[in-house]
Amino acid sequence: MLKILKKMSLVVALIAFSTGAMAQDTIKMGALATLEGAFAALGEDSLRGVQMALAEFGNSAGGKNIELITGSSDASPDSAIRAARKLVEQDGIQVLVGPLSGSEGLAIKDYAKTQPNVTFLNGSSAAQDTTLRESAENFFRFSTEGAQWMAGLGEYAYNEKGYRTVAVLAEDYSFPYTQVFGFLEPFCRLGGKAPLDARFWVPIGNKDYSSVIAALPDDVDAIYVALGGADAINFLTQYEQAGGDAPLIAGSITVDQSVLGSKGPTRKFVVGTPSAGPISDTWDNPNWNAFVAAYQEQFPDGFPSPSLFAHAYYINTKAALLGLEAVGGDLSDGGAALRAALSALEFDTPTGMVKLDERRNAIADIFLTEVIEGPDGNLVNKTISVTKGVSQTFGLPYEEFLKYGQVSRENPSCE
């Protein structure tokens, strides 16, 4: 007993003291992603984005080497905080990129307020309130959020597709709320309807959609579906088998490559589904094509095309590196100069120009897409239009936008 504890204390003391001295020509950067649990595959892809940005800069910025330290969470806010605390307080990182999912982002934003000398950049988390309400001075989001990702989709569904009434099916947490809000707000402003009793909220990882499918009303023109990964595949398969024939409108991660690449009869069924998001697989643009080619070359065992998670981490990491270049790698002032540089940063990404608003949230281009059958029979998202410079407040003044209220199951009410 005693000896074990003695030895343990020795080890603990050694670890505690050995981290003091560090070479001054190295900047420690942390990357936090979900490498455990349901989103592990997405977490791995997001780190590919970080590595791409670092490789682009030769692992150095402002004349200093960048040392990357990875942290892992399991998508719960608790674990994200623990991992961030370890990176910041134990490993002594000065810049953190992450986390991946919405609720984690809200937690990390709160943690950022307690660490004013560390600069936090978002990973791919896309909950609205991470930057909209009670934002942290040292938290930056160069990737856009869930409501911005829906830009143009509500108008497209109403004007082009001619839908007037939609049912809603989404997972029951902050990110889908944000997406539903982003879609319904313009759709309902134009005169569309989404009755409250035709909105269905399912837990993440739901397997059986038969009760939802049975309860879907017949008198709707389309179903807005915001499900991710396996949930989307399960629903699409079961809806198809149940003989459902209502057209679909999809959230940003509902018809991505992980769903479209799956085998089975759902394939034909989703052709023609409109969606919107921060990337479009098939956008014919030299910058985007170069990005995809670099991804495929650097990670032959990755996805066929970078996911929006890799894209978001790439953009945030690149912003951090550009900021470090601008201040010559000098963080001796606790990163104040770096944060000033980031606030003013405007740069070209694979998906167009990005800059920040006054709450440090990105203003960027959003893609409206539609699922088509590609030349070799696989399903891809065709780019229909690009909405330039989408801001978090849809172009409204901040105070005005706050009147819409927090995103929730019943916002907007759309009656």
Chain residues that interact with another protein, rule: CB under 8 A? 1-2, 4-6, 8-9, 12-13, 15-16, 35-37, 44, 47, 69-72, 74-79, 81-82, 85-86, 89-90, 103, 106-107, 110, 172-174, 203-204, 409
Q: Which two tokens stand for residue 53?
A: 């940005």
3-state secondary structure of 267: helix
Taking the least distance from each CB to another protein, the nearer of 388 and 409 is 409
CB-CB contact of 112 with 141 (8 Å)? no
Query: In the 8-state DSSP scheme, what is residue 246?
Result: -
Single out the residue of 290, 295, 395 nearest to residue 349, CA to CA. Answer: 290
Choose between 69 and 337: whose C-beta lies nearer to another protein: 69
Give the integer Cα–Cα distance in Å for 100 and 104: 7
Question: Which letter does DSSP use for residue 189 in this model?
Answer: H
Nearer to another protein, 205 or 328 (CB): 205
- Helix 308-326 vs helix 286-298: angle between axes, to the nearest 10 degrees? 100
Contact 409, 177 (CB under 8 A): yes
* CA angle centred on 301, ends 87 and 38, rounded to 5°: 55
Nearer to another protein, 172 or 346 (CB): 172
Closest distance to another protein from the beta carbon of 3 (Å): 8
Beta strands in 244-401, from DSSP E residues, in sequence order? 248-250, 274-277, 346-349, 352-356, 362-373, 379-390
CB of 343 to another protein, least distance (A): 26
Residue 245 or residue 301: which is nearer to another protein going by CB? 301
Q: Which helix H or strand E contains 224, and what residues bound it?
A: strand 222-226
Polymer length in residues for the chain: 415
- Copy the structure tokens of residue 344: 């003013």
Closest distance of CB 228 from another protein, Å: 13
* Minimum distance from residue 109 beta carbon to another protein (Å): 10
Q: Supply the minimum distance, in Å, between the C-beta of residue 44 and another protein.
A: 7
Nearer to another protein, 7 or 268 (CB): 7
Nearest-CA neighbor of 259 among 229, 280, 238, 286?
Answer: 229
Question: Least Å distance between CB 125 and another protein?
Answer: 13
- Angle CA(312)–CA(249)–CA(234) in degrees, nearest 5? 80
Q: How many CA atoms lie within 13 A of 311 on its CB side?
A: 26
Q: Closest separation between CB of residue 49 and another protein, Å?
A: 15
C-beta of 44 vs 221, nearer to another protein: 44
Which CB sits closer to another protein, 15 or 242? 15
